[in-house]
Amino acid sequence: MTFGRPDGSQTEVQADLIVGCDGAFSAVRKQFVRHSRFNYSQTYIPHGYMELTMPAQNGEFAMKPNYLHIWPRNTFMMIALPNLVSRKYINIRYL
Ligand SMILES: Cc1cc2nc3c(=O)[nH]c(=O)nc-3n(C[C@H](O)[C@H](O)[C@H](O)COP(=O)(O)OP(=O)(O)OC[C@H]3O[C@@H](n4cnc5c(N)ncnc54)[C@H](O)[C@@H]3O)c2cc1C
């Protein structure tokens, strides 16, 4: 494999096993699919996703942080995750 560095230089590496852990738009996978008999399929879940922020109130969490906050509604769900640094709540809606 050839790896390109940010400075433009390249490194050639030989390996018996290659594990691609470069995310959903994997450059490693993109190279592999060019080879014959390499099978790959991708399926998207039907759910949507949205993030809302619940700001801190007087520097503290708007809701108690040591509880699980989940609001299920039919096929929807909203969960609130406390951000321990900003004291904000990140609310995630799965639609
Ligand atoms: C907004 C958001 C919220 C999420 N919330 C949750 C959650 O609450 N719970 C949950 O379980 N999952 C959540 N996920 C999903 C989770 O983040 C992913 O499933 C997980 O990070 C995938 O891990 P990964 O190691 O496959 O890839 P990634 O975490 O994407 O890591 C890939 C790494 O490879 C590097 N890379 C990519 N291309 C190259 C390249 N060409 N050269 C060198 N390096 C490269 C990237 O810089 C990155 O560091 C969320 C995702 C998003 C976008």
User: If you ran DSSP here, which 8-state letter would residue 93 be given?
Assistant: E
Q: Is the overall model pTM greater than 0.85, yes or no?
A: no
**Identity of residue 41:** S
Ligand 1 centre to CA of 58 (Å) is 33
Q: How far is CA 37 from CA 10, 19, 24, 34, 40, in A?
A: 28, 18, 21, 9, 10
**Tens-digit pLDDT profile for residues 18-70:** 899 999 999 889 988 999 999 999 898 888 888 989 898 888 888 888 888 99
Instruction: Name the residue at shortest CA distance from atom 50 of ligand 1.
Output: 49
Q: Quick one: pLDDT band at residue 17, thresholds 50, 70, 90?
A: very high
Indicate whether 86 pLDDT > 90.
no
Average pLDDT (71-82) is 89
Contact 78, 68 (CB under 8 A): no
Instruction: Name the residue at shortest CA distance from atom 17 of ligand 1.
Output: 23
